Amino acid sequence: MTVLDLAPLTPMHETVRRPLYTETTTSQALYLPIAPPTLGTAGAVIGRELYSGKAFIYCPFSAFGDGLPGGNCIVMGDTGRGKSALTKTYCARQIRLGRQVVILDTKEQTEREEGEWSALGRALTGNPPVKFAPGDAGSSCVNPMDPAITGKRQIELVRTIVELGLGRALDEFAGSALRIAIRRAHQRAADEDRQAVLADVASSLRAPHEADAAAKQRSPHELLADGLEASYVLDRLCGSDQDTTGDLIGMLDGPTSLSIDLDADMVTFDLTRVPSGGVAMTILVAVIAVFLEEVWLRAKCECGSEPGQHERVTVDASSGAWELGANPEAGCRRYTQRKRILVAEEAWHILGTPQLARLLEKFLKFARGFGLACIFIVHHLSDIDDSAETKAALTMADTIVVYSMKKAEAEDTAKRLGLPAWTAEHIMRLRRGVALWKVGDVIYPSVQHLLTEAEQHLCFSSGSMSDLSNEDPQND
């Protein structure tokens, strides 16, 4: 019995090698750095995936339909890991693609005595930041009573301001007195040919009209009692000529500053002088959010014209369905909604305050319709409470970027975001500039953010320049 049949090895049975046909995809699998970026090639370059070496390009506006339901994003991680640097370069790169960006900047760059986004804003637009500083004559002002904010929205906003100042909800009687006072304030201002301000609401609350009281089956005294507390709150917040201690003095109690150019590519609201975590910051963010929604987020084509200036093109004669087409005057061939990005630094102020989280929830929910992508930057989820509003806001984040964190926070983050258990340890070990990205349902464990030399000084947040020249995030 032959144990080994050598016959097949005789020259007669020599194996014939078939030629190897390779395709681009095969060679890409063998050598990943030449493979196309996973999320497509359109959008802002972020850097590279460390495991594969593939380029990492991200754009919520282009990735739509490719597994990304919306453009909202939360960036989190320990201090100094690269959250702001990533967001700054990302925004700058998106602006090159025609997007508009608004930033709520809350972190001061001490040596420059202004917000850390101001330098980037100046470099990109030439405009200084819109600076808010309570009690400072040079402070910018956003008027909650601005006629640009429509009726119902304005009533809700002024009510939110009073409730935040008061620390509790207004009852029906006070709410009704406030509505009446807002209407009267507008009438009074129109008679004097000027814009109504919050001080007009406070004085209308203190001087109710007999006709308004009668319409509500109340006496003028009762109507006065209903709204008196709200008027005190407005006085306290906005101050007066005699009292200059108001938390919001100079920031909400006058007409909206003309210097706010919401058509600029990038608008930086510098909130670094507003005490963080206090009522003033909360109220200011609430007002800015509504102002942005009413004025900045108005539908606009990328060519700069309004939808009404574009032709209506019937796409289905039987149903009469139509879409917006060309605007020959502007030389624009088709209406394309302008895309916007809203960045909130230290966003735990927002997510941790139920009234603001509720307000932002609306932003997040309808972001897609607005052509908007919101980016919230936080340290850890433990900064944020577990309220229903916060949870809702978190579930609306379609992309989550996690930089390095300490053990307890990494474990908490993985648990609250429903990430696999291995990610907790992985997050703890991430180097500066490298983050775990979760885009839709897909996890990219190590994405390295690459900064060009020109961007480095604009993203530098740590003070001394010598620090920067010695820094190499790869060796961190």
Ligand X SMILES: Nc1ncnc2c1ncn2[C@@H]1O[C@H](COP(=O)(O)OP(=O)(O)OP(=O)(O)O)[C@@H](O)[C@H]1O
Site of interaction with ligand X (CB under 6 A): 77, 79-85, 107, 379, 432-433, 449, 451, 456, 459-462, 471, 473
Ranked by CB distance to Mg ion, the top (closest) residue is: 84
Which of 76-84, 121-129, 132-140, 251-259 is the region at the interface with Mg ion (rule: CB under 5 A)? 76-84
CB of 85 to ligand X, least distance (A): 3
CB of 282 to ligand X, least distance (A): 20
If the CB atoms of residues 84 and 140 are measured against Mg ion, the closer one turns out to be 84
CB of 83 to Mg ion, least distance (A): 5
92 binds, options Mg ion, ligand X, none, Cβ within 5 to 8 A by partner type:
none
If the CB atoms of residues 122 and 206 are measured against ligand X, the closer one turns out to be 122
416-424 LR contacts (CB < 8 Å, sep 24+): 416/381, 417/381, 419/443
- Residues 289 and 293: their CA atoms lie apart, in Å, by 6
If the CB atoms of residues 107 and 183 are measured against ligand X, the closer one turns out to be 107
CB of 96 to Mg ion, least distance (A): 22
Q: Which of 268, 267, 287, 284 lies closest to 276 in space, CA to CA?
A: 284
Around Cβ 191, how many Cβ atoms within 10 Å? 8
If the CB atoms of residues 275 and 463 are measured against ligand X, the closer one turns out to be 463
CB of 105 to ligand X, least distance (A): 11
- Residues 176 and 179: their CA atoms lie apart, in Å, by 5
CB of 473 to ligand X, least distance (A): 4
Determine the size of the site formed for Mg ion (CB under 5 A). Answer: 1
If the CB atoms of residues 411 and 455 are measured against ligand X, the closer one turns out to be 455
Place of tokens 């005057």: 329
Q: Which of 314, 304, 311, 312 lies closest to 327 in space, CA to CA?
A: 311
Which residue in the set 55, 74, 75, 84 belongs to the binding site for Mg ion (CB under 5 A)?
84
CB of 114 to ligand X, least distance (A): 15
CB of 117 to ligand X, least distance (A): 11
If the CB atoms of residues 107 and 209 are measured against Mg ion, the closer one turns out to be 107
If the CB atoms of residues 233 and 459 are measured against ligand X, the closer one turns out to be 459
- Residue 143 touches Mg ion, criterion: CB under 5 A: no
CB of 73 to ligand X, least distance (A): 14
240 binds, options Mg ion, ligand X, none, Cβ within 5 to 8 A by partner type:
none
Phi-psi region of 40 (alpha: psi -120 to 50; beta: other; left: phi over 0): left
Binding site for Mg ion (CB under 5 A): 84
